[in-house]
Structure 1
Amino acid sequence: MTSVPAHDPGMLTTGIRVGLLDGFRLCVGQRSAPVPLAAQRLVALLALWDRDVARCEVSGTLWPEANQAQANGCLRTALWRLRRTERTLVIATPTHLGLCPAVRTDTDETIAYARRLLEPADRCDGHPLHPQPLLGVLLPGWYDDWVVFERERLRQLTLHALESLADRLLDAGRFGTATDAAYGAIRADPLRESAHRTLIRVHLAEGNAHEALRTYRSYVDLLQRELGIGPSMQLTSLIRPVLPREPRHSGACQPAGPADARLMYARSI
């Protein structure tokens, strides 16, 4: 592949940042720069793919329904409009395009933070342990195939990172922030059992058996309602020590109500 040449540092505008989480943004220094939609899509693709990309691959991906000549024309127009906004953002050769290496992106920062959290030996020194950098959604409202793929890839990475962060915070005794991290994972995927297990472990470590039981029962109801299945043995084994003892009743058995049925189900697994 032909590499995009290194850019002249003297021509680079200082402090260019591309935001893709929770919507597209381009910031140059302290100002926000408006970018036409076609140019936004070009910048987003180059930022997410993070490599030198052949012009024909870019145009074919961004304008898949156009023929090659039309797609190439759309690409040239997008580049022209982008250069009117910030001419140093994209580096172009006759065959390839790439984002200027000095440009910062929030997705790169989130991915780097998530990967550090997933390395057990990495203490993440110099980075505050907080869930906020992991909570953004990649380009909401964009439904191009390449965006949907990257959105799901980032979502899966941040879900694992949020659970790892909650465990680290739990070990450090920071229960409130650990709860926030666990809820962040649940909000992103309400049916994700590992996120609920993480939240229940935090409640149990705090001594909040009631909260742990409430979280468990709420999740059991959700699973039954949405998927028609029960929780795993991992989850039931985690909660079993704090399940209330079933009272002994004399006389004839009475029919169980809905709440009693849920408790009996929890005890039986």
Structure 2
Amino acid sequence: MSINIKVQAALRQAENYPLPDLQIKALGHFGAFQSNAVIAEERWTSLHAQIILIYLVLNGAATRDELIELVWADEAVDKTSVRLRTTLKLLRQTLRPRWKINAEYICFQNGRYRIAPGVSVASDVQQFRQALAQARQTSGLASYTLCLQALSSYGGDFLAGCFNEWVLEQREQLHNDYLWAHERCASVCLAEARYPEAEHHARQSIRSDPLREQAWQILIQSLNHMGRMPEAIEAQQQLAEHLHTLLGIAPTWA
């Protein structure tokens, strides 16, 4: 049997295999994987395709009009319909494994686009949100552990470098959740007298947003407990300066 015949036979057999699982990375720079094998970056020729894919992963399904509003809200309807078809074609081609030429990861059912039934999909955003949702329902060290789990999924800003309106909204929400997770960790560590860890998490929050007064308060208390009074005083002064310069207010404890 020739090599070509063997290859063709193998490809026909592969058509009966289920689609590989999808893993999507959106916190930080975008990445997509099929059963942990990366989809090459050069295959992603459309940023709009990435946005649509992530939207479907996070929201489950979307109508044609919802996807147009998502990506081309300010453009003429006669142009956006063509662009949506083109983008969906590119997305399907990008997701299609080379050994499964008829594979369709994106389907259209009951007037809505969605990930094809039977495909297992996971994303770092979902992992982050699920861990935080559980952390909010618990307290103490259990909440701390779940927050650490969430933080391990947070690789950076949501779709860093993309300035789509929906993306910006999601980015802000996720970033605020990231800060909350650090502050919850800091608060638990302070209560447990784990002052170096409390300091670490408080500083992480402050580094991202110098106006997080709760994080500053935890930092100051942690430094005091560790006998680092000059640093605690300096932190108080820094907070007061930030609040006065940026918001024109004084700290709540002043």
TM-score past 0.5 threshold: yes
Change over 3 Å in CA distance of 1:168–1:20 after alignment to 2: same
Deviation at 1:45, TM superposition (A): 2.3
What is the distance in 1 between the residues matched to 2:229 and 2:75? 59
1:210 aligned onto 2:230: yes
Match of 2:206 among 164, 183, 186: 186
Contact 1:118 1:160 (C-alpha < 8 Å) held by counterparts: no
Deviations, residues 119-144 of structure 1 (Å, cap 9, x unaligned): 23471597583644446211222222
1:108 aligned onto 2:115: no
What is the distance in 1 between the residues matched to 2:144 and 2:246? 41
Deviation at 1:187, TM superposition (A): 2.1
Deviations, residues 62-98 of structure 1 (Å, cap 9, x unaligned): 1113333321221211121112221354333362112
Change over 3 Å in CA distance of 1:73–1:93 after alignment to 2: farther
Match of 1:140 among 160, 173, 182: 160
Instruction: Provide runs of 4+ in structure 1 moved above 6 Å.
Output: none
Deviation at 1:229, TM superposition (A): 2.3
Change over 3 Å in CA distance of 1:134–1:222 after alignment to 2: same
Match of 1:157 among 177, 185, 199: 177
| Residue segments in structure 1 that go unaligned for 5+ positions in a row | 1-8, 237-269
Give % identity: 25
Match of 1:46 among 56, 72, 75: 56
Query: Could you say what secondary structure the match of 1:129 adopts?
Result: helix
1:71 aligned onto 2:91: no
Q: Select between 121-130 and 134-143 the one with higher mean Cα deviation.
A: 121-130
- Amino acid paired to 1:61: L
Change over 3 Å in CA distance of 1:202–1:21 after alignment to 2: same
Match of 1:129 among 130, 140, 148: 148
Query: Could you say what secondary structure the match of 1:18 adopts?
Result: strand
What is the distance in 2 between the residues matched to 1:126 and 1:191? 25
Q: Comparing both chains, which one has the higher relative contact order based on Cα–Cα distances under 8 Å and sequence gaps of 6 or more? A: 2
What is the distance in 2 between the residues matched to 1:204 and 1:99? 53
What is the distance in 2 between the residues matched to 1:206 and 1:91? 58
Structure 2 counterpart of 1:12: 19
Structure 2 counterpart of 1:120: 138
What is the distance in 1 between the residues matched to 2:155 and 2:249? 28
What is the distance in 2 between the residues matched to 1:195 and 1:126? 19
Count of paired positions: 224
Match of 2:40 among 21, 33, 42: 33
More helix by share: 2
Deviation at 1:107, TM superposition (A): 0.8
What is the distance in 1 between the residues matched to 2:155 and 2:23? 19
What is the distance in 2 between the residues matched to 1:197 and 1:134? 24
TM-score (norm 1): 0.73
Match of 2:108 among 69, 92, 106: 92
Contact 1:60 1:68 (C-alpha < 8 Å) held by counterparts: no
Query: Could you say what secondary structure the match of 1:155 adopts?
Result: helix
TM-score (norm 2): 0.76
Match of 2:197 among 157, 174, 177: 177
Structure 2 counterpart of 1:200: 220
Contact 1:162 1:181 (C-alpha < 8 Å) held by counterparts: yes
Contact 2:144 2:188 (C-alpha < 8 Å) held by counterparts: no
Change over 3 Å in CA distance of 1:83–1:72 after alignment to 2: same
Deviation at 1:202, TM superposition (A): 2.3
Contact 1:114 1:134 (C-alpha < 8 Å) held by counterparts: no
Change over 3 Å in CA distance of 1:102–1:155 after alignment to 2: same
| Residue segments in structure 2 that go unaligned for 5+ positions in a row | 1-15, 97-103
RMSD: 2.7
Change over 3 Å in CA distance of 1:138–1:117 after alignment to 2: same
